[in-house]
């Protein structure tokens, strides 16, 4: 298959992209195209390490042919790869991923009907024995020190210290960007990252990817992934499919407002611990801005909660005292309350959509389409283990692996019809929709209007 990659994918775009990272004087370095191809091979065959790749390179005629080296050419030192990463930054690899998406779009492999989303934990390249435990202030200081040390050593910015940790008493000095988290199924708490992916249903093309520290909330990435998909593919998906973690009020509201059908399961928190009537038993009277309870009593708005972006509706004092439905309706001494979020109509519409037959069918498809994408990356390309340290390097890893997934689909599904076009266009693709898109602007404007209506 490496022959097909060489014939149909043009890696030469990288020369132009990194031209400004090299000086005009000094020794002639290794060709950036060769370096990119070597990093591609590292994940393509899940070679154990960069040293191992350089060790076997001279014996692998297919690898030599792929990178354009002859039998007598000297093998580069493994350190050229780490130096190139530090010099180029993560953008070049993101560009490689975007080009792979663009080619899949051009080849008609992306339908944008169903977009599956999920996140997966990745074990950081740091032993759990390296983890230090201390008070939050000390951990915060250590993160700052490690961040500035790295910036000095590698001449690039660190992500450390910019965000609040969920577990603020643990840190791994080996990789301070990777917080200690447990899997959902339990087990040990270890330094981990999280990869978030959006996969198009038609052929499994990865259309958007994000990488976060392991404690990053998956549901908070959903809108970002949809937006990235729209920017990379040129159109919003018709439906967004995800598990119950993504079924939050914010996601239902925002996606419905964008006109995207919400095929997520409702969040587990909505069903759990429910010992009283749900809010759906209360009818909202828009004209009177009040709720009517099953007993016909009215609940009136109190002052808004700006943090939760909601308004609490409550009955008048003493109304619930003698009500026969009280045991099923409320445990509160002061009577029943109902929360109404801003954009509640959109949230209700989104929840209604998520319980349709179509939504259930989409969730069934998600099980094999989404999980299949992660499983293939894990089994063939070393996706579940960080090869390098720090968040920005993990982003590089995820972009390379996602690009490989797309290139494989491109080769296997597009046949010979676009044989020439693919190779030729790989280097020319630019995002179909630039970042400052109408979708993005509409989304920002809508958020602004909401914020105004919330009284911010």
Residues forming the site for ligand SF4 (CB under 6 A): 293-295, 297, 315, 319-320, 323, 325-326, 329-330, 335-336
Q: What is residue 4's DSSP assignment?
A: H
Cα within 13 Å of Cα(411), Cβ side: 15
Residue with tokens 């520290």: 213
Smallest distance from ligand SF4 to CB 299, Å: 7
Q: CB–CB of 92/146 below 8 Å? A: no
Q: CB–CB of 350/256 below 8 Å? A: yes
Nearer to ligand SF4, 295 or 425 (CB): 295
Q: CB–CB of 158/147 below 8 Å? A: yes
Distance between CA atoms of residues 115 and 209, nearest Å: 12
Distance between CA atoms of residues 420 and 68, nearest Å: 19
Distance between CA atoms of residues 86 and 123, nearest Å: 22
Smallest distance from ligand SF4 to CB 280, Å: 14
Distance between CA atoms of residues 384 and 398, nearest Å: 10
Nearer to ligand SF4, 62 or 289 (CB): 289
Distance of alpha carbon 172 from its chain centroid, rounded?
A: 23
CB-CB neighbours of 221 under 10 Å: 23
Smallest distance from ligand SF4 to CB 340, Å: 15
Nearer to ligand SF4, 208 or 311 (CB): 311
Nearer to ligand SF4, 181 or 323 (CB): 323
Nearer to ligand SF4, 35 or 320 (CB): 320
Residue with tokens 């030729």: 424
User: What DSSP line would sit under 287-325, residue for residue?
Assistant: TTTEEE-TTS-EEEEEEEETTTTEEEEEEPTTTTTT-TT
Nearer to ligand SF4, 134 or 319 (CB): 319
Smallest distance from ligand SF4 to CB 380, Å: 57
Smallest distance from ligand SF4 to CB 324, Å: 8
Q: Where are the alpha helices (DSSP H) in 132-212?
A: 136-154
Smallest distance from ligand SF4 to CB 234, Å: 49
Smallest distance from ligand SF4 to CB 355, Å: 25
Nearer to ligand SF4, 49 or 334 (CB): 334
């Amino acid at each position: 298959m490496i022959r097909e990659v060489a014939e149909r994918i043009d890696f030469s775009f990288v020369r132009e992209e990194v031209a400004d990272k090299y000086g005009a004087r000094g020794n002639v370095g290794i060709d950036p195209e060769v370096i990119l191809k070597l990093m591609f091979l590292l994940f393509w065959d899940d070679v154990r390490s960069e040293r191992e790749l350089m060790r076997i390179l001279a014996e692998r005629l297919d690898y030599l042919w792929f990178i354009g080296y002859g039998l007598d050419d000297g093998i580069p030192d493994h350190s050229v790869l780490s130096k190139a990463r530090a010099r180029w930054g993560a953008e070049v690899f993101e560009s490689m991923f975007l080009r792979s998406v663009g080619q899949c779009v051009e080849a008609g492999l992306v339908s944008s009907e169903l977009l599956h989303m999920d996140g997966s934990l990745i074990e950081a390249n740091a032993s759990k024995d390296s983890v230090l435990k201390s008070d939050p202030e000390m951990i915060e200081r250590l993160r700052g020190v490690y961040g500035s040390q790295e910036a000095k050593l590698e001449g690039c910015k660190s992500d450390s210290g910019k965000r609040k940790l969920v577990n603020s008493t643990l840190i791994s000095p080996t990789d301070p960007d990777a917080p200690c988290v447990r899997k959902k199924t339990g087990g040990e708490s270890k330094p981990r990252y999280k990869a978030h992916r959006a996969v198009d249903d038609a052929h499994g093309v990865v259309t958007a990817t994000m990488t976060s520290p392991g404690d990053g909330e998956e549901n908070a990435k959903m809108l970002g992934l949809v937006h990235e998909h729209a920017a990379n593919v040129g159109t919003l998906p018709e439906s967004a499919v995800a598990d119950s973690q993504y079924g939050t009020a914010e996601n239902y509201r925002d996606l419905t407002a964008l006109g995207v059908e919400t095929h997520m399961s409702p969040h587990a928190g909505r069903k759990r611990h429910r010992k009283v009537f749900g809010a759906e038993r209360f009818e909202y009277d828009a004209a009177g801005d009040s709720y009517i309870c099953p007993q016909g009593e009215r609940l009136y708005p109190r002052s808004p909660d700006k943090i939760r972006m909601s308004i609490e509706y409550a009955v008048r004092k003493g109304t619930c005292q003698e009500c026969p439905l009280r045991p099923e309706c409320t445990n509160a001494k002061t009577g029943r309350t109902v929360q109404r979020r801003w954009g509640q109509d959109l949230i209700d519409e989104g929840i209604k959509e998520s319980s349709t037959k179509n939504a259930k069918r989409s969730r069934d498809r998600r099980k094999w389409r989404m999980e299949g994408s992660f499983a293939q990356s894990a089994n063939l390309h070393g996706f579940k283990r960080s090869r390098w340290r720090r968040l920005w390097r993990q982003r590089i890893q995820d972009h390379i692996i996602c690009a490989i997934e797309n290139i494989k689909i491109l080769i296997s599904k597009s046949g010979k019809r676009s044989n020439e076009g693919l190779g030729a266009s790989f280097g020319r693709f630019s995002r179909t929709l630039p970042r400052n898109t109408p979708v993005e602007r509409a989304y920002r404007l809508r958020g602004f209007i909401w914020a105004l209506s919330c009284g911010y």
